Structure 1
Amino acid sequence: MAHIAYPSTQNFKNFKADYIRALERPQDGDSDVSDPAPGKRPPARATFFGTVKLHGTNATVVFRDGNKADPQIQSRSWVIENSKKDNLGTFALLSAAPLSALVDQILAARGQGSQFEEIYICGEIAGRGVQKGVAIVALQRFFAIFNIRIDGRWVDMRRYKSCSLPQHRIYNVAQYKTFEVDIDFRASTAAVHDLMTQYTAEVFEECPFGAAFVDDTGKQVTGAGEGIVWTMVRTPDMSSEDFDDTILCNFKTKGEKFTATTSAKEPQKYVNPELADATAQFVDYALAERRFEQGIEYLEGEQAREGKPIDGYDVKLTGAFIKWVVEDTVKEERNEMERLGVPEREAKKELGARAKEWYARRCREIVDALTAG
């Protein structure tokens, strides 16, 4: 069956820009594909439910046509059919669990009988050996559910937080510490941005998800968390016309260590568009170390998909690395690039040069380290 891609999650700055653009368009006008609620105006004021963002790798499970016995296990970009082409143990972990029991829990929470066309369970494979620099690396590898879609409609995870199989290391992030903010997109968002930054800093300082567990020695897990994902939820005063649950309307806030840009804040202006070196300054902002690391993760994911040995630092992959970094940066930071008047062609040229330089340097460093060893 065809792979179903999980939607990408924007940072708040880009989400807000697209959201305001959606608010200001004519009701019957053409919709922008990047709008958070294409086809209709989103509510001007909304509540966002925050869950801890886990630093791992995306994984999803799909059930179709009422069949609970034949799940489709996926990474972010491919269907995983066996352990030979696994992604960081995703198939090994999920194929061994009684996932039909998870479907039963989801259907019970829905309360509309046992029939369904599609159930889409979305989460993160995380823990030991998946990422680094966060508290949860002390835990045995696990799957944490963060979103569920039933028959094309995203559910309110506050109602589905009990859906989990902890005895099989399948958890639900909504069971742990959560957050909530109200955002009025027609007013200043400075105060709520500061509040979200405060909450995110607290998660970065001490991961509340990790703190709920003990490591192999019996000690409480401590350390950093990556950030928070904020998802719009329907409030009692919001009509069904104002809330479109066929769209996953969310954004992320991260601790500065985990951002792909050089600032986690939302300043009024990142660079002066009138400066002759605006392109270079845009690239300085858009390329933090984390984006390069994500490029390596992409390369390693592709190697896993093809069943090849994992080695993200191979000079033969230079072109693929540059292509990913350039495309990801332009996609993520297009709003800022256009606001500054930086031509896309010039931005791509500078991004490609920086990515090539970084990758060549890292490959040399690894070769030197191996030679010295």
Structure 2
Amino acid sequence: MARAKKGTISVENFRGMLRLYLPRTWFNGKKKYFSLGLPDTPENRKIAEAKVGLMTADYIYERFDFTLEKYRLDTAPQEEKLSMLDIYSQYVDFKKHLVKPSSVHNFTTTLNKLKEMPDSVIKSPSNIRSWLVEHNTQEQARRVMQRLTTAYDWAIEQGITEEPNPFKKFKKIKKVSDPSPDPFTRNERDLIIETFEKINPHFANFVKFLFFTGCRPSEACGLRWENVDMTNGKLRFCEAVVMGKHQQGTKTLPSREFPINNQLREILESEAKKAENVFLSERGKPIDLHNFSQRKWKPLLNNLPIRYRGLYHCRHTFITLCLDSGISIRVLAKWVGNSPEIILRHYAGLSKTEVPEL
């Protein structure tokens, strides 16, 4: 279908029904659709064209009804109003080809929450908000409401539903501050490494690598030999394994370099080059973090005299110990792919630096 000239009304087919796409210039640059509530048939196309003629004439003679009530057809059947589940499903289909797998997972999680809601809840935005607050943590509810608001804005932009966005009238759920990092002590770190070497030596190098680089676990899983330069003493983090799939780039940067010291060189030289990835599962596949955490990491730590913390705390441990050792925040931020501000905000207070005697 040929694109309508700028400033003119065009007739469109949307899900088998006719609607008019009104000029943005008439509505301060915003997209505006007007549903006729008629199936797309040759006869109804004539009605649509007549409606276009009426609207155009009214606009020219400065009598256009911007509420659009004047142009509604009394005899036209009303389109069934889409539920938030319908809208969000279309939004997910649109976004899943544009974002990283980890983001797709978050969108899918929200979609599943909508599917869990009773029919009486899903039909009312206020009931949706109440249900989310009642059945989720404050932070989970906040994030879902944020995604629903964005999805509804998108639906308005696409002409899938009409303004206003009902989710914008609610008071925003307050963001919960991130808890302070909870690193392992140096002795706890060494005990974990020693136990892996004794009980599960296959994964010992993987665990040591996490503790001695402070990289995100997904980045360690995604590290390939082609990005390890032993000659020049550096490696490059430029991809990650998320939800079992390789994705380009790290969480915050396309790539970053990390220096290979003697400790790290020993780890890498002792790891056999059996595939593209440096660290592999016992079956020779890229490590699945969920399986590793549940089947290897958690059982091992539960049998040690150490308060349990997740795998990501290896990163917290590295950053904190580096600060204790006097590494500058600027250099450390570059190594781990954070900003100096994040390091200061979350980690500086955990350093065990003592007040000097002056």
Asked if Structure 1 and Structure 2 have the same fold, meaning a TM-score greater than 0.5 normalized by the shorter chain, the answer is no
Decide which structure has greater strand share. Answer: 1
Higher gyration radius (CA): 2
**More contact order relative to length (CA 8 Å, sep ≥ 6):** 1
TM-score (structure 2 length as normaliser) = 0.21
TM-score, length of structure 1 as denominator length = 0.21
User: Which is helix-richer, 1 or 2?
Assistant: 2
